[in-house]
Amino acid sequence: MWPQRNARRKISCANSRTASWRFYLTAAENQRVLVNELRHLPTARRKTIVGIQRRLLDIVEEILTQLRPDLARQPALRRPTTMLHFGMINWMHTWLDPQGPAKPTKIADLTVTTFIEGLRKGALP
């Protein structure tokens, strides 16, 4: 049995209903630093940031594996699946206007629904 409700609630909370999701929408400058300048930060600061990033990836990977238990049997696909999820949200700040007609909470819900339903219904290679 697929634990959709519980896992959906977890991933929705992790991405669309918390301050961290809102952070994605307003984080253009921070995203530029993380993508382009991370290597220039002092080693200790860089290690801290990379550690936080990895923990977040691990949390989402665990949730996705709960959603799709067969991912546990395909370790080569777990992290790429997780990165696909983040690929849907990491650059939203470049095109989504929080003041525009498409409200960020609606887009967040659409993102979560699209990803979860696609993961649930799609066949793993």
Q: What is the pLDDT, as a whole number, of residue 28?
A: 65
Q: What is the pLDDT, as a whole number, of residue 37?
A: 86
Q: What is the pLDDT, as a whole number, of residue 76?
A: 96
CA distance 33 to 76: 29
Q: Distance of CA 118 to CAs 6, 10, 19, 31, 38, Å?
A: 17, 17, 25, 26, 32
Amino acid, res. 27? A
pLDDT interval class at 18 (50, 70, 90): very low
pLDDT tens string 22-78: 556 556 677 777 778 888 989 999 999 999 989 989 999 999 999 899 999 999 999
Q: Distance of CA 75 to CAs 11, 34, 66, 118, 124, Å?
A: 20, 26, 13, 19, 12
Mean pLDDT of the chain: 80
Neighbours of 87 (CB within 10 A): 11
Which CATH fold topology does 4-121 show?
A: Tetracycline Repressor; domain 2 (1.10.357)
Q: What is the pLDDT, as a whole number, of residue 27?
A: 66
So where are the chain's domains?
Answer: 4-121
Q: What letter does residue 82 receive in the DSSP assignment? A: H
pLDDT higher than threshold 80 for residue 90: no
The whole model's pTM is what? 0.73
